[in-house]
Amino acid sequence: NMYTARYAAIGFAIPINLARNVVEKLIEYGEVKRGFVGIQHPVDGSDEITKDIQETMGLPSTDGVYVSIIIKDSPAEKAGLENEDVIITLDGAKVKNFNDFLLKIGTHSPGDTVILEIIRDKKERTITLTLADRDDFQDIASVSGAHLWRGIYVIDINDQMAQKYNLSGIESGVVIVKIDEKSPAAEANLSEGDVITEIDHKPVKNVRDFDKIKNELKDSEKNIIIYRARKISSGEIIKGYVAVRGK
C-alpha cells in the first residue's frame, strides 16, 4: 500500500506505514525525530551488491545493504558493525537495498532498539543497537560521505546542503563540507559552503566529475585552478578562480 500526495503537479509516493508514523510524531511532539544508525551510502553507489560481490561473499542474493562507511561514535560503530558486513534483515523483515533500509529505519524514533541480521565472513550474525537522534550526527554524516582531495571534502549539492549553506541560485557543482587546516585548500582561502564548478577549466557538475579530475591528477604536484562560487550574507553570489598548490 502506498500513500500518494500530489502538489503543484508533482507526485510523491511514500509507504503508508511511514506516513502514519510521521503524522503520529507530529501530533505527539510537534516535529519528526527519526532514528539514526550511522552507516552511509556512498554517492557513487559503490556499495551496491553486484552478482560478483554476491558470489565472492557467499550471499544468498543481491538483496541487502553492503556496509562501507561507518560514522565514528555512531550506534553502528558502538554495536560492532564492520565494513563489508551485509545487512539482510531489520527486526526480521528482509532488506532489499539501502533505500529500503532507510524507509524501515524511518519508522523508528531515537532511543528505539532494533535487531539487525548480518552476514560477515559468510556467516550470519545478529546485532542489536539503539538508535540515536539523526540531528546529533548531521554535520559528521556530511563529512563521512565526502570525497577528499588536497584538503577539500566535497559532496553533491542536495536539498539538505542547499538549505544548510543557502545555495539557492547555484544549480550544479560540488559543495565543500570541510577544509583540513594547514592544507593547500586552506591556504587558498577555500571555505566550507563554497561550491566548486570547475577544476583546471574542466566543468565539475558532481562528485563523479570531481573524482575523475582528481584521479587524472592524483600523482601530479602541479598547482590546480579552481573556479568557486560563494554565497555571502547579503545573498550575492561571488565567483572567481583560486589556485591550489600541489603536494
| Segment 51-62 mean pLDDT | 88
List, in sequence order, the alpha helices (H) in the chain. 16-29, 51-57, 75-79, 98-105, 138-144, 159-164, 184-187, 207-216
State pLDDT tens for residues 134-151: 777 765 555 656 677 888
The pLDDT value given to residue 88 = 95
8 A C-beta contact, residue 173 and residue 204: yes
- Contacts with 136 (C-beta within 8 Å, 6 or more apart), sequence order: 36
* pLDDT greater at residue 202 or residue 48: 202
Give me 200's grid cell.
583546471
The model's pTM is 0.55
| Segment 120-138 mean pLDDT | 88
DSSP 173-210: SEEEEEE-TTSHHHHTT--TT-EEEEETTEE--SHHHH
In this prediction, residue 114 has a pLDDT band, given cuts at 50, 70 and 90, of: very high
Mean pLDDT, all residues of the chain: 81
State pLDDT tens for residues 223-236: 999 999 998 888 88
State pLDDT tens for residues 12-38: 444 555 556 555 655 555 555 778 898
The pLDDT value given to residue 221 = 82
In this prediction, residue 126 has a pLDDT band, given cuts at 50, 70 and 90, of: very high
- Amino acid letter, 190: L
Domains in the chain, start-ordered, CATH in brackets?
Answer: 1-32 (no CATH), 34-136 (2.30.42.10), 146-244 (2.30.42.10)
The pLDDT value given to residue 9 = 35
